[in-house]
């Protein structure tokens, strides 16, 4: 599901901002953008995210803003510098090599100049972690609100399918007289009304009507729609399950359409298919 959450904490000297964004994805794809001082906390953040987010293409970023810029000067290991300088001077004297900036050469040797690495204290990390949890709570609320909208939408569309099913039941009894009339007219034009065997005609009509019976399809479609609504109310993540149920709903709708043999019923079936396609699109956003 799509989602967005942001939270900030300003201590006066430092401002921490945590932002979480997600797009739809079948799996959890987590991308972190962290300042270097928090790099050692990446595993913990990934673990926390995977516990609270089931799937989605998720981007987590942490931004640190300092109220005043602190310039940290490099340090010099004086003893090591002297050691390198004396060695260089000794070799230079031994080779009778005059000139050359020995001090500059010594400063460029390993471990002479040391830069203080940025680190994060436990107190500072606790503030960032608290901000992260607040951003996650805002993120989850965003997704929950979106989920409520999706739930209302798919419920409404299931309701339309069920309403169309009721209208199908109204149209269904009208089929038999219409089919009887069409067949009778066809036979009258083909062989003449006086040559029609009425008993045989009735037998064939019963057989034909039986092939077009949709009682089982109507019952199963109603049951699948009820099960869909029941599953929708479940607190667990049921996106895949709802997808499977929607496939079964589609199967029954397609069978209704193939057996309808009536223009009005076909229109109702097309309306059901249209609503089902919209439901399937929405289910791509459901966990």
| 134 assigned to some structural domain | yes
On whether both 61 and 41 belong to a single domain, the answer is: yes
Identify the H or E element spanning 165.
helix 122-171
| DSSP single-letter state for residue 118 | P
Helix (H, G, I), strand (E, B) or coil at 277: helix
Q: What is the pLDDT of residue 114?
A: 66
Residue 106 CB neighbour total at 10 angstroms = 19
Helix (H, G, I), strand (E, B) or coil at 30: strand
**149/272 Cα distance (integer angstroms):** 21
| 159 assigned to some structural domain | no
Q: Last residue of a domain, which of 91, 106, 141?
A: 141
On whether both 110 and 82 belong to a single domain, the answer is: yes
**189/224 Cα distance (integer angstroms):** 44
| 235 assigned to some structural domain | no
Q: What is the pLDDT of residue 279?
A: 93
Specify whether the CB–CB gap between 205 and 178 falls below 8 A.
no
On whether both 30 and 65 belong to a single domain, the answer is: yes
| 196 assigned to some structural domain | no
On whether both 56 and 90 belong to a single domain, the answer is: no
On whether both 16 and 43 belong to a single domain, the answer is: yes
| 108 assigned to some structural domain | yes
Q: What is the pLDDT of residue 134?
A: 96
Tokens of 95: 């080779």
Specify whether the CB–CB gap between 244 and 227 falls below 8 A.
no
Q: What is the pLDDT of residue 237?
A: 60
Q: Which residues of 30-44 are buried (b: 16+ CB within 10 A; e: fewer)?
A: bebebeebbeebeee
On whether both 54 and 110 belong to a single domain, the answer is: no
Q: What is the pLDDT of residue 282?
A: 87
Q: What are the angstrom distances between the C-alpha of 57 and each of 2, 19, 21, 63, 240?
A: 9, 14, 8, 20, 18
On whether both 15 and 110 belong to a single domain, the answer is: no
Structural domain total, the chain? 2
On whether both 65 and 11 belong to a single domain, the answer is: yes
Q: What is the pLDDT of residue 226?
A: 95
Q: What is the pLDDT of residue 8?
A: 94
On whether both 127 and 101 belong to a single domain, the answer is: no
Q: What is the pLDDT of residue 195?
A: 66
| 239 assigned to some structural domain | no
DSSP 73-94: PPEE-HHHHHHHHHHHHHHHHH
CATH of residue 7's domain is: 3.30.230
| 89 assigned to some structural domain | yes
Q: What is the pLDDT of residue 249?
A: 96
| 282 assigned to some structural domain | no
Beta strands in the chain (DSSP E): 3-10, 14-23, 28-33, 56-66, 75-76, 113-114
**37/18 Cα distance (integer angstroms):** 15
Structural domain span for residue 30: 3-70+120-141
On whether both 108 and 9 belong to a single domain, the answer is: no
**Over its length of 287 residues, how does the chain's per-residue pLDDT go in tens digits?**
688 999 999 988 889 999 999 988 878 899 999 888 888 889 999 999 999 988 889 999 999 887 665 555 567 778 887 888 888 888 787 777 776 677 788 777 877 776 555 566 788 889 999 999 999 999 999 988 988 898 999 999 999 999 999 999 988 877 777 676 676 666 666 666 666 666 766 666 666 666 778 888 999 999 999 999 999 888 776 778 898 999 999 999 999 988 887 888 899 999 999 999 999 988 877 75
């Amino acid at each position: 599901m799509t989602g967005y959450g942001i939270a900030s904490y300003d201590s006066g000297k430092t401002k921490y901002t945590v932002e979480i964004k997600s797009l739809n994805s079948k799996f959890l794809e987590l991308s972190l953008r962290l300042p270097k001082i928090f790099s050692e906390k990446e595993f913990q953040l990934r673990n926390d995210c995977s516990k609270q987010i089931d799937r989605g293409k998720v981007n987590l970023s942490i931004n640190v803003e300092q109220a005043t810029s602190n310039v940290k000067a490099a340090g010099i290991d004086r003893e090591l510098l002297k050691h390198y300088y004396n060695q260089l001077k000794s070799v230079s004297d031994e080779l009778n090599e005059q000139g050359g900036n020995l001090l500059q050469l010594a400063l460029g040797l390993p471990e002479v100049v040391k830069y203080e690495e940025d680190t994060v204290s436990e107190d500072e990390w606790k503030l960032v972690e608290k901000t992260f949890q607040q951003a996650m709570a805002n993120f989850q609320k965003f997704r929950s609100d979106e989920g409520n909208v999706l739930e209302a939408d798919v419920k409404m569309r299931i309701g339309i399918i069920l309403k169309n099913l009721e209208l199908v039941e109204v149209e269904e009894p009208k089929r038999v007289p219409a089919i009887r009339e069409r067949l009778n007219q066809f036979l009258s034009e083909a062989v003449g009304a006086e040559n029609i065997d009425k008993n045989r005609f009735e037998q064939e009509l019963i057989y034909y009507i039986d092939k077009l019976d949709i009682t089982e399809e109507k019952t199963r479609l109603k049951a699948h729609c009820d099960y869909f609504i029941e599953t929708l109310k479940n607190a667990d993540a049921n996106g895949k399950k709802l997808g499977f149920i929607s496939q079964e709903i589609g199967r029954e709708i397609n069978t209704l359409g193939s057996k309808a043999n009536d223009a009005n019923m076909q229109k109702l079936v097309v309306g059901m298919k249209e609503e089902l396609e919209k439901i399937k699109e929405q289910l791509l956003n459901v966990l």
